[in-house]
Amino acid sequence: MTRIEFFENVLRDWLAHEDLTLFAGDWCDGAIMELCPAGKARLTGARYDEPFGGLRDIVLPGAGHHVHLDLGRFAQLVYRVAPSVCFGWKPAFEILFLTDDTPPRVGFRCGHGRPYDRSGTLAATVVDEFFGRHAEHARQRPELVRIEVERPAVPQRHAEVWRSIEERLCDA
């Protein structure tokens, strides 16, 4: 499987998830855009020969909105667990597609939109799916996949959530 095929398969796998959020932009630049396709987004196939063989679009049916991607620019897939302002500094579960730039940059990312239930408790199925897909993708292309856990310096806040994540990491 080529690198482009791998990233395409990973993205198709995640796009089918009803709770996926697509992110564009970076807080460092002052803004982030979030799209919540509710499992309805689709990824177009290849349309061009090299050097544009990695170009794809994420299309949202019934909307004029779409995302242009160059899968040929991606060199690393990072499953990242990190505190998020959106969840009151509880961890978010994101999938980062890093570019082949030096240093690498986040070219695109997506993640679970609701990793916590209404009571604020970590949804075990979300976390298990996240780590399960990481393991599956790492088996397919270990040289392209890694996991990052950015635990806050002061672990007392949301300690039970972080403990649950660490237990799953130890079991992986």
Residue-level pLDDT, tens digit, the chain, 172 residues: 999 999 999 999 999 999 999 988 777 778 888 888 988 999 999 888 888 889 999 998 888 778 899 999 999 999 999 988 888 888 999 999 999 887 888 888 999 999 998 888 899 899 899 999 999 999 999 999 999 998 877 656 788 888 888 888 776 6
β pairing state of 31-35 and 145-149: unpaired
- Displacement of CA 161 from its chain's centroid (Å): 19
Domain count, the chain: 1
Q: Is the pTM of this model over 0.85?
A: yes
Which residues constitute the domain of residue 19? 3-171
Half-sphere exposure at residue 148, Cβ-oriented, CA atoms within 13 angstroms: 14
CATH classification at residue 71:
3.40.1570.20
- Identify the pLDDT of residue 31: 83
Decide: 70 and 51 in contact? Cβ < 8 Å: no
